[in-house]
């Protein structure tokens, strides 16, 4: 492989990570409300805490931006840096998608303390396998409606993605399913504090107001 291609592919990976690391929830709180969401609710910089702390309009916008950066990496950057070579688009989509997710979870701008990666993962999967992702989104909505726990809905949704990929032939590919399993495990591990609160009966339900974080919630980063 020519050195120029290696440099181009690496550049795409770096840009995907840096874009994924963009803390839209934190920026929205600071710029629009003068609030550091790392000091409210679960202290998480992601879309769920932004929605809880900053309100529905801003929270929805943050959610869309976090989804968008994942989609831009796995779909847009993959095609841009493939430079007309369709045979490498899928591999780049997986690599760049992972870079974006890791950027959100471990952002260099915030000392590598980021969000759980759910919204960004959703965007990544939309770029790689739209139908399985829509099915996972429906599962998220159903579980959230029934339980009112966003964390349970999120962990369910990421678990559905590889299963749905295995069902539909266009996405029944070992590399895609393997990637989806890795991402699902990462997102579930990032929800460890939510799992603890679920077991203790202290997990936030959708619609509950957010105040200053408790000591238990402070670990939810």
Q: What is the pTM of this model?
A: 0.90
**Quick check: helix, strand or coil at residue 143?**
helix
H or E element: which one contains 25?
helix 24-28
pLDDT at position 42 is 81
Helix axes 56-71, 3-20, angle to 10 degrees: 170
Rounded Cα distance between 122 and 120, Å, is 5
Assess if residue 219 is contained within a domain.
Answer: no
**Quick check: helix, strand or coil at residue 112?**
coil
pLDDT by 10-residue block (mean), the chain, 221 residues:
89 98 96 94 88 92 97 97 92 98 96 93 97 97 94 96 97 97 96 93 74 43 32
pLDDT at position 218 is 37
pLDDT at position 207 is 65
Which of 46, 5, 48, 7 shows the shortest CA–CA distance to 23?
Answer: 46
Q: What are 184-221's pLDDT values in tens digits?
A: 999 999 999 999 999 999 888 876 655 555 444 433 33
Assess if residue 218 is contained within a domain.
Answer: no
Assess if residue 152 is contained within a domain.
Answer: yes
Rounded Cα distance between 154 and 39, Å, is 23
* Number of domains the chain contains: 1
Assess if residue 216 is contained within a domain.
Answer: no
> Both tokens of residue 126?
């939309």
Residue 168, number of CB atoms within 10 A of its CB: 12
> Which DSSP string do the residues of 79-100 spell out, in sequence order?
HHHHTT-GGGHHHHHHHHHHHH
Rounded Cα distance between 185 and 118, Å, is 11
**Quick check: helix, strand or coil at residue 118?**
helix
Do 94 and 148 contact (CB within 8 A), yes or no? no
Q: What are 114-126's pLDDT values in tens digits?
A: 999 999 999 999 9
Rounded Cα distance between 78 and 12, Å, is 8
Q: Which domain holds residue 116?
A: 3-210
pLDDT at position 205 is 83
């Amino acid at each position: 492989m020519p050195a120029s291609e290696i440099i181009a592919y690496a550049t795409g990976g770096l840009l995907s990570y840096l874009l994924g690391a963009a803390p839209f929830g934190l920026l929205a709180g600071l710029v629009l409300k003068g609030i550091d969401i790392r000091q409210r609710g679960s202290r998480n910089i992601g879309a769920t805490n932004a929605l809880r702390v900053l309100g529905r309009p801003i929270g929805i916008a943050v959610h869309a931006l976090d989804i968008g950066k994942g989609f831009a990496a796995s779909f847009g950057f993959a095609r841009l840096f493939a430079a007309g070579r369709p045979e490498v688009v899928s591999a780049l989509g997986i690599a760049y998608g992972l870079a974006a997710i890791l950027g959100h979870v471990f952002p260099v701008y915030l000392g590598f303390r980021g969000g759980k990666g759910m919204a960004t993962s959703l965007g990544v999967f939309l770029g790689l396998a739209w139908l399985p992702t829509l099915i996972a989104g429906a599962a998220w909505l159903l579980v959230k409606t029934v339980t009112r726990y966003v964390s349970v809905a999120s962990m369910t949704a990421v678990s559905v993605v590889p299963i749905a990929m295995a069902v539909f032939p266009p996405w029944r590919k070992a590399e895609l399913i393997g990637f989806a399993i890795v991402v699902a495990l990462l997102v579930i591990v990032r929800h460890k504090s939510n799992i603890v609160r679920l077991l203790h009966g202290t997990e936030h339900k959708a619609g509950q107001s957010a105040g200053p974080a408790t000591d238990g919630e402070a670990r939810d980063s």
